[in-house]
């Protein structure tokens, strides 16, 4: 009997299967510093311990997307070690703030299966929950991933495609954010004078900046999350695959898009939820990422007058500046689009 883990193939999954993932991971200041070094995110509450304390957090919260990546990374050896690509996300809620010193672990449930027409791969849908050391659920999300079959001739399991909400209600969000005392908050801290009231539904924002991705950076990032998927590391195997190259982890693009969005959305405190997201095309080392956002909705948050909710759709591209807002077209996407992300952020209100 082998003592090593070859990873699960499509035939190994069953709807209703529950998986408890190794390894519990304590989040440290080093993780936060390295995450900043990799992506350059500048949102003030996550950057300043002093500001976070003044506003009422008690501690600087760990970046929401870093929490997502750490929980995601726990799942890879059991779910996506033999993945072709991660395809999308839905029903993602950030439930409890995470601080340095917290220890995270993850549990997943298989909620759907679908064999692809080629019979070489299939799509696995999982709902993953991340917990801290106290047993509090800090995050939950659904993702679907294309996974290789062990044997093309193996019969497919019964197809089950889960029904997933297209958007999450604002009424279910915001509990992870304490009631804030904004008396000491000044706009120079973010460099933006634009509050929740200043954004209009339908408004589009070119985040202007671009960042070229290096393979070494994404490999360091995925190691930071303990994400061991072969497609990101093993060039020996990938050279015989369809692209002949290592793929940049899709979450790397999400982090880049979020960091780039600071230029235009500087007072967006947190991502509260991800309604849905799709990785449209692969990204490779040497490609340059740009991003733009559209305000889809603006909503008041029940019982809160210091923050409001913005529903945002962010499109990320490669080697394609976004001044003309490239994105969805009839029957597909503009060439160069790599990410389509729909999410709710908490934005500071004026006064």
Per-residue H/E/C for the chain: CCCCCCCCCHHHCCCCCEEEEEEEEECCHHHHHHHHHHHCCCCHHHHCHHHHHHHCCCCCCCCHHHHHHHHHHHHHHHHCCCEEEEEEEEEEEECCCCCCCCEEEEEEEEEEEEECCCCCEEEEEEEEEEECCCCCEEEEEEEEEEEECCCCCCCCCCCECCCCCCCCCHHHCCCCCCCCCHHHCCHHHCCCCCCHHHCCCCCEEECCCCEECCHHHHHHHHHHCCCCCHHHHCHHHHCCCCCCCCCCCHHHHHHHHHHHCCCCCCCEEEEEEEEEEEECCCCCCCCEEEEEEEEEEEEECCCCCCEEEEEEEEEEEECCCCCCCCCEECCEECCCEEEEEEEEEEEECCC
Q: Is the pLDDT of residue 81 over 70?
A: yes
Q: What is the pLDDT of residue 156?
A: 84
pLDDT of residue 153: 87
The pLDDT value given to residue 1: 62
Q: What pLDDT score does 175 carry? A: 83
- CATH class of the domain at 10-348: alpha beta
pTM of the model: 0.94
Question: Where do the domains of the chain lie?
Answer: 10-348
Write down the pLDDT at residue 29. Answer: 95
pLDDT of 234 reads 80
Mean pLDDT, range 119-132, rounded to an integer: 96
Mean pLDDT of the chain: 93
The residue-averaged pLDDT of 266-283 equals: 95
Task: State the pLDDT at residue 232.
Answer: 84
pLDDT at 157 over 90: no
pLDDT band at 309 (very low <50, low <70, confident <90, very high): very high
> Poorest-confidence range of 7-21, 23-37, 228-242?
228-242
């Amino acid at each position: 009997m082998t003592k090593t883990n070859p990873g699960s193939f499509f035939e190994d999954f069953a709807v209703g299967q529950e998986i408890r993932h190794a390894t519990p991971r304590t989040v440290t200041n080093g993780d936060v510093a390295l995450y900043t070094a990799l992506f350059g995110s500048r949102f003030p509450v996550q950057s300043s311990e002093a500001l976070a304390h003044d506003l009422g957090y008690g501690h600087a919260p760990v970046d929401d997307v870093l929490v997502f990546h750490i929980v995601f990374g726990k799942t890879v050896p059991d779910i996506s070690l033999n993945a072709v690509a991660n395809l999308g996300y839905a029903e993602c809620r950030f439930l409890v703030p995470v601080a340095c010193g917290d220890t995270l672990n993850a549990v997943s449930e298989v909620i759907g299966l679908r064999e692809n027409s080629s019979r070489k791969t299939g799509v696995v849908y999982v709902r993953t929950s991340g917990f801290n050391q106290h047993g509090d659920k800090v995050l939950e999300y659904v993702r679907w991933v294309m996974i290789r079959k062990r044997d093309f001739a193996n019969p497919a399991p019964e197809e089950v495609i889960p029904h997933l909400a297209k958007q999450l209600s604002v009424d279910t969000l915001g509990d992870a954010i304490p009631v804030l005392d904004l008396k000491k908050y000044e706009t120079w801290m973010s460099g933006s004078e634009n509050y929740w009231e200043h954004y209009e539904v339908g408004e589009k924002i070119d985040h202007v900046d671009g960042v070229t991705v290096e393979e070494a950076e994404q490999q360091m990032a995925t190691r930071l999350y303990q994400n061991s998927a072969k497609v990101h590391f093993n060039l020996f195997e990938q050279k015989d695959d369809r692209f002949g190259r290592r793929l940049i982890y899709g979450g790397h693009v999400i982090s880049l898009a979020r960091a780039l969005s600071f230029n235009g959305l500087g007072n967006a405190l947190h991502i509260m939820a991800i309604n849905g997201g799709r990785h449209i095309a692969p990204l490779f080392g040497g490609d340059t990422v740009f991003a733009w956002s559209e305000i889809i909705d603006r909503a008041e948050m029940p019982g809160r007058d210091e923050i409001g909710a913005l529903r945002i759709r962010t499109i990320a591209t490669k080697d394609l500046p976004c001044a003309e807002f490239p994105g969805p077209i009839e029957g597909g996407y503009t060439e160069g689009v790599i990410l389509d992300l729909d999410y709710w952020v908490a934005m500071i209100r004026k006064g």
